[in-house]
A and B are shown apart, each in its own frame.
Chain A
Amino acid sequence: DTGVSQNPRHKITKRGQNVTFRCDPISEHNRLYWYRQTLGQGPEFLTYFQNEAQLEKSRLLSDRFSAERPKGSFSTLEIQRTEQGDSAMYLCASSYVTDTQYFGPGTRLTVL
């Protein structure tokens, strides 16, 4: 078991560009979560999938953000028309049923 993996680890982009991040959960984990963490803060919940169904979205997830988990395995998080306020660490976590969430290393986004 290699744990939760995320790619890329770092992304620098210019304001207005679109970016996409990928998360590969621990195999057989049916639940996948996205969180955002800004400097000096704890992670904040963004959205959650059970298999391929997106079951909850935070109000933090504006219409510029979209997440998918097409086959119930890996997930992508896309941010359109990035803004400087989107600069943060984006963390993915997975769990089996209602079990504990295990986190990936995160993708650090810097919007110039």
Chain B
Amino acid sequence: GEDVEQSLFLSVREGDSSVINCTYTDSSSTYLYWYKQEPGAGLQLLTYIFSNMDMKQDQRLTVLLNKKDKHLSLRIADTQTGDSAIYFCAEKPETSYDKVIFGPGTSLSVIP
């Protein structure tokens, strides 16, 4: 089956690190994504990781993938107030034409 789960809320202090976790069910997924959505806006691609990678780092963002446990995490270092948004984890299963399955989103609140 295809399902992506995330915790719904996370609150951190400005300057701390944020870690947003995600679990997915489709082991055939080839790509896993993190998207950011600010209020009233569309989705902005933050980063993605291939399923044959364990880690990807991009400036303040670090993605960790545990394929055995089907667990994906996004770490944001030195979190800023501008990072407050909803973060969506998504997988692209191999089973259909590039359909992306999204989680419910994690609302990140950064406290000044």
Contacts and interface: CB of A to CB of B under 8 A. Distances in A.
B99 interface: yes
Contacts of B31: 100
Q: Do most interface residues of chain A lie in helix, strand or loop, or is the interface mixed?
A: strand
A109 to B, nearest CB: 14
Interface in A41-79: 41-45, 48, 50, 55-56
Interface stretch (B12-20, B62-70, B75-83, B100-108): B100-108
A22 interface: no
Contacts of B35: 103
Contact of B104 (A42, A91, A102): A42
Nearest to B2: A45
Given A56-B96, A56-B97, A42 B105 contact: yes
Contacts of B40: 108
Contacts of A103: 35, 42-45
B34 to A, nearest CB: 11
